[in-house]
Amino acid sequence: MPNVARHPSRVTRHALPYFPGCALKDQAGHFEASAMAAMEALGWELSELPRWNCCGTVYSLASDDLMRHLGPVRNLVRVQELGESRLITLCAMCYNTLRRSSQFVGADPERLERINAFMDEEPDYQGGVEVLHLLQFLRDEVGFEEIAAKVKRPLDGLRVAPYYGCMLLRPREVGIDAPDSPGVMEGLLSALGAEPVDFPQKAECCGAYLTVTDPEIARERVEGIVSAARRAGAEIIATSCPLCQFNLEHHQADDASPVTRHASPVTVVYFTQLLALALGVPGDKLGFERLRFDPRPHLAERELV
Amino acid sequence: MAKVEELSGENLYACYQCGKCAAGCLFADHMDLLPNQVLRLVQLSDESVLSSRAPWVCASCLACEVRCPKGVDIAKVMEALRLLVLRTGETGLRLWEIPSGVPQIALVGATRKHTP
Ligand code: SF4
Ligand code: SF4
């Protein structure tokens, strides 16, 4: 289907059910907008799941906590109602929670039966909906070669450190890539003409929700991650999680932050913003102004904006 | 402790105290017990583990889970310990102390980890 993007009338044929989650409707609106624009440029449409509800953010690690799988399962029912079998996510936390829950109920018919018995408005969930992260879809279905062929504005060697964090990689059964040596974001960035910057901290935890209860611990985590990316020569860090994005921005902007006391902050963007930019979406549609540290000076140096 | 075993669904006696989990835990510096020590106390049914700060510092990052040579998911053990405390009605989450400006995704995550 090489010419799909040039035939807008065909775009709707490629609609994909998509789960936004709370953050993408709020603090991470630019993550959603840039992803949608990028997918449109590739000839696909991310079509928001009707009547979706919060996934619960964190997957319950307790064996007896069926209640916390209800939210995820209800979303899977919505996919089933559309007659679809796949659900695309952008937020790494939603991805992890939905995918793990779908595996949890899929592994034991009795669990699923109890959840189905509890839901009285929805039809029973039959199982079998596959939860995917957009990065998986881009790699496995669209293909990086195809993406490279559609790049209109190569990123001209922009040095980008891909930051995975936890939820895309762990546990191994839901990881979109090898937990110890992931390469999917590097592959994508190379296809866009950027220079992926490798740094060992790319799969380390940003402190996650400890930012609420123990912000100093999250700050220390962010310091380790950002300074490593900076030492490795990154101009920009790319994320795929609104919580990583918040922590990496917030704890660098904090006055008390040791990260910024000695060096200038490293710009943090969503990977979809770079993807859409490279695919030719105008820079002013990508929400760069909503980022804590404006990437446009770096982009302007290469005449990308 | 049978309850931890049940809640976590993990075989706690598989752990042979190699310490790999502690070596890879990026939060261990802030814990009063290392992850493997937490597990050891659970194996010994030592209830003092319930007053440890370690489960509350654990961010469920799963770095330990992918490293353990015995396939023990320590994050599940930490969750079980949190729940045993939370289900007695205790919680360390003080809503009025939450810093302003934290996004919903962080709030939902934290409150879920601090409520039974
Ligand atoms: S890595 Fe596994 S076996 Fe080793 S101490 Fe930790 S839990 Fe025990
Ligand atoms: S899941 Fe918890 S115990 Fe395990 S490495 Fe992460 S913070 Fe440490």
pLDDT at A254: 73
Higher pLDDT, B60 or A65: B60
CATH code of the domain covering residue A196: 3.40.50.11810
A125 and A164 together in one domain: no
A280 and A227 together in one domain: yes
Q: Which domain holds residue A156?
A: 150-301
Place of tokens 């017990």: B33
| Predicted confidence (pLDDT) per residue in B11-36, tens digit | 999 999 999 999 999 999 999 999 99
pLDDT at A259: 59
Q: Which domain holds residue B109?
A: 2-114
B90, two tokens? 């205790």
pLDDT at A11: 43
Structural domain contains residue A140: no
pTM of the model: 0.94
pLDDT at A10: 45
A257, two tokens? 């932050």
| Ligand 2 geometric centre to CA of B57 (Å) | 8
Q: Do A170 and B66 touch (CB under 8 A)?
A: yes
A111 and A248 together in one domain: no
A58 and A187 together in one domain: no
The secondary structure element, H or E, covering residue A268 is strand A267-270
Does residue B104 surpass a pLDDT of 60?
A: yes
Count: domains in chain B: 1
Q: Do B104 and A23 touch (CB under 8 A)?
A: yes
Q: A233, B92 in Cβ contact below 8 A?
A: no
pLDDT at A139: 98
CATH code of the domain covering residue B50: 1.10.1060
A233, two tokens? 């020569």
pLDDT at A261: 62
A190 and A289 together in one domain: yes
* DSSP 8-state symbol, A54: -
A121 and A159 together in one domain: no
Place of tokens 């962080």: B106
Higher pLDDT, B116 or A24: A24
Q: How many CB atoms lie within 10 A of CB B49?
A: 23
Structural domain contains residue A257: yes
Count: domains in chain A: 2
Structural domain contains residue A79: yes
Among A134, A160, A179, where does a domain finish? Answer: A134
How far apart CA A165 and CA A237 sit, in angstroms, is 12
Beta pairing, strands A159-162 & A195-196: parallel
Angle ∠(A34,A39,A41) on CA atoms, nearest 5:
95
A108 and A217 together in one domain: no
| Most informative mutation of B30, B49, B64, B67 for ligand 2 (most atoms within 8 A of CB) | B64
Structural domain contains residue A143: no
| Predicted confidence (pLDDT) per residue in B63-102, tens digit | 999 999 999 999 999 999 999 999 998 887 888 888 888 9
| Most informative mutation of B36, B67, B73 for ligand 1 (most atoms within 8 A of CB) | B36
Is B73 part of the contact surface with chain A (CB cutoff 8 Å)? yes
Set of chain B residues whose Cβ sits within 8 Å of the Cβ of A212:
98-99, 102, 106-107, 109-110
Q: DSSP H helical segments within A47-205, as ranges? A: 70-81, 92-106, 109-118, 134-137, 144-150, 184-191
Q: Average pLDDT by consecutive 10-residue portion of chain A (305 residues)?
A: 45 80 96 98 97 95 92 97 97 98 94 94 95 98 98 97 98 96 98 97 97 94 96 97 97 72 86 98 96 95 92
pLDDT at A215: 93
Q: Residue window 255-294, chain A: list those with CB within 8 Å of chain B.
A: none
Nearest to A265 by CA among A247, A277, A283, A253: A253
Structural domain contains residue A217: yes
Is B37 part of the contact surface with chain A (CB cutoff 8 Å)? no
Among A110, A134, A158, where does a domain finish? Answer: A134
Structural domain contains residue A139: no
* Rounded-to-10 torsion of CA A78, A83, A85, A89: -40
pLDDT at A292: 95
Among A103, A134, A165, where does a domain finish? Answer: A134
